[in-house]
Amino acid sequence: MIDVADLTRDFEYYEKESGLKGSLKNLFSRTKNIRHAVSGISFHVDEGEIVGFIGPNGAGKSTTLKMLSGILFPTSGTATVNGYVPWERKEAFKRSFAFMAGQKSQLWTDLPASESLYLNKCIYEIPDSQYKATVDELTEMLGVRDFLKVQVRRLSLGERMKMELIAALLHKPSVFLLDEPTIGLDILSQQAVRDYLKEYNKKYGATILLTSHYTKDIEDLCDHTIIINKGKKVFDGSIKNLRKFENIKTVVLSFSKVVDPALLAEFGQVLETDQNKATIEMQKDSISQVVPRILATFPVEDFTIEDLPLEKIIESIYRGEG
């Protein structure tokens, strides 16, 4: 459904010294720099997949989505979305996808959400019966039916984001590009958005490519993850394979009496102590040797060995440790 080969996007910018002298100098001589926002990335997304497209700020995620939606032209490389070249902007292509950014709004803030939805109905030439059925279905699914006639600027952030989702999916796109759809939302609203996306994917078989800084979004929604850093792809695979980068485990210990944390330091990094409990971080390869020593040395009642949180693994890849 999405096929990307050696996609590159460069941006030109100029340096300017501060003050009046710098402004005058800038009139006659400017230093031009080139920033490689996306540097020759390649990947493909199968039909019906939900793929997490993640990376630190400035990695090139949003730039890539804008190229895949036809908003930006690439410097070089090729891409097809649903069989179309995005930047050719053919009408059939524009009817087949939706692009939603959590920091941007397509709704008119001074009008009720129903007015913006009706405008989208007219743009996409959706039949009246289909429009009514779709709005009824989506507002019921997201629990915002009672807010359709409320001015958008009077809605909470979570309610507005749900309306944004409805507006984006009104024409039943087969490809959905999402740029941080849960940014700024509370836990309940985040979960509502995730549940909605899973239901939409299951019901319509839509292909979804999303960026997010919340690992919960990635763990709940995605089997396939692509990580980019500094414009380059550094990982492309499943969450299960992503955990192969993990080289640290945490051991949670419960003691029958209070143990001095200083005595535990020789076995690993002590992350937390609380009365008769302690959490130690240690190398994955050393666990089989270290844990028996701890059991022989201290009055251990119980212990568990836990995986690192996914965000810790992703952070290590960002830092180039994976």
* Per-residue pLDDT reduced to its tens digit, 9-55: 999 887 777 777 777 777 777 778 888 999 999 999 999 999 999 98
Query: Please, what are the domains in the chain?
Result: 2-239 (3.40.50.300), 247-306 (3.30.70)
Indicate whether 60 pLDDT > 60. yes
Tell me the mean pLDDT in the region 190-208: 90
Residue that wins the pLDDT comparison between 16 and 114: 114
pLDDT at 101: 84
Check whether 257 has a pLDDT greater than 80: yes
Phi, psi of 24 (to 5 degrees): -65, -40
How confident is residue 106, by pLDDT bands cut at 50, 70 and 90?
Answer: confident
- The band of 321, judged by pLDDT with boundaries at 50, 70 and 90, is low
